[in-house]
Amino acid sequence: MHVPKAELHLHIEGTLEPDLAFALAARNGVELPYADTEELRRAYLFEDLQSFLDLYYGLMAVLHTEADFEELADAYLARAAQQGVRHAEIFFDPQAHTARGVGIGTVIEGLGRALDRSVERHGVSTRLIMCFLRDESAESALATLDAAKPYLHRITGIGLDSAEVGHPPVKFREVYEAAAALGLRRVAHAGEEGPPEYITEALDVLGVERIDHGLRCVEDPVLVERLVRDRVPLTLCPLSNVRLRAVDVLESHPLPAMLSAGLMCTVNSDDPAYFGGYVGDTFHAVHEALGLGPEQLRELARNSFLASFLEDDEGLRERYLAEVAAYEFD
């Protein structure tokens, strides 16, 4: 679905398509534990978040050089443009690469090369959000922030991802305070598999401006009231929720009820190479499975630009919002 939209919840490593993974494996002399792309695709049957993460981190072994990261990001931006994405705020997981001996500068400069040409090549404006792995230590997150200091001109904000349960937001208080002092914007995954309390804690302790996922807020009416009142954006990822079994089937996703409750919802693709669709496909899927009509789809698109970190270019945000308002659904 081509309505103009911003993508706010997208892990660049989650856009690694099987074809590119095998091409990079050949180029870098990496042996993959799958015979071919078909066998790899057959492994994409996940039980939960952890079973996905195991495969996701494993496949990153093919990413080595700046050129690899540039190619990964450029391929995503080309696909995103075809799906109506006009602006993308892209997550990356530096610790998943530095742990394998790939320098943080290689990752950021490689991604940055693709992002620098994105407007001209694909018509997609971009921002970069550096995520910390919450199942690693707080010290490791602080060291990662420190290592990123030479590249802060490329980074708009920080996020928190990976295995959620057992790793509450409060563990990362210090690194979020340090990032805020550096002028970085703050988001965090919360309420994907973890309880609603993690959403509250991400807001109160980490000072986040958006909640990534936030799905489990629906279990706590007081929290929903707060999120509605404060217009806290939620970057929902319905196809991811189905594949990682947070919901049984797309038809039972609470998105329509969340919109009706007045929550500021956006829809996003999370890890599109693994979860069966990019964000235009996701809009189409929620239209088909949940019966969302033009006005709700327009609201989702509008919310995506309102929730994006475009404070440094309000003119661009206004142009995007005007495009959403003028879009004709067929």
Q: Which residues are annotated as a binding site for Zn(2+)?
A: 9, 11, 189, 270
- Comparing CB distances to Zn ion, the nearer of 87 and 317 is 87
Determine if 235 is a binding residue for ligand ADE (CB under 6 A).
no
Q: Which amino acid is at 204?
A: D
Q: Which amino acid is at 64?
A: H
For the chain, count helices (H), then strands (E).
17, 8
CA-nearest of 275, 304, 327 to 7 is 304
- Report the alpha-carbon distance of residue 330 to residue 319 in Å, rounded: 22
**Cβ proximity of 273 and 59 under 8 Å:** no
Determine if 270 is a binding residue for Zn ion (CB under 5 A).
yes
Q: Quote the least distance from Cβ 159 to ligand ADE, whole Å.
A: 9
* Among ligand ADE, Zn ion, none, residue 7 binds (CB under 5-8 Å by kind): none
- Comparing CB distances to ligand ADE, the nearer of 89 and 161 is 161
- Alpha carbon 161 to chain centroid, angstroms: 9
- Comparing CB distances to ligand ADE, the nearer of 46 and 309 is 46
* Among ligand ADE, Zn ion, none, residue 66 binds (CB under 5-8 Å by kind): none
* 225 a catalytic residue: no
Catalytic, out of 7, 66, 70, 192: 192
List 11, 185, 210, 302, residue binding ligand ADE (CB under 6 A):
11
- Report the alpha-carbon distance of residue 233 to residue 213 in Å, rounded: 10
Q: Which amino acid is at 227?
A: L
DSSP state of 237: -
Determine if 241 is a binding residue for ligand ADE (CB under 6 A).
no
Q: What is the CA radius of gyration of the chain?
A: 18
List 136, 215, 271, 300, residue binding ligand ADE (CB under 6 A):
271
| Residues near ligand ADE (CB under 6 A) | 11, 14, 49, 161-162, 189, 192, 240, 270-271
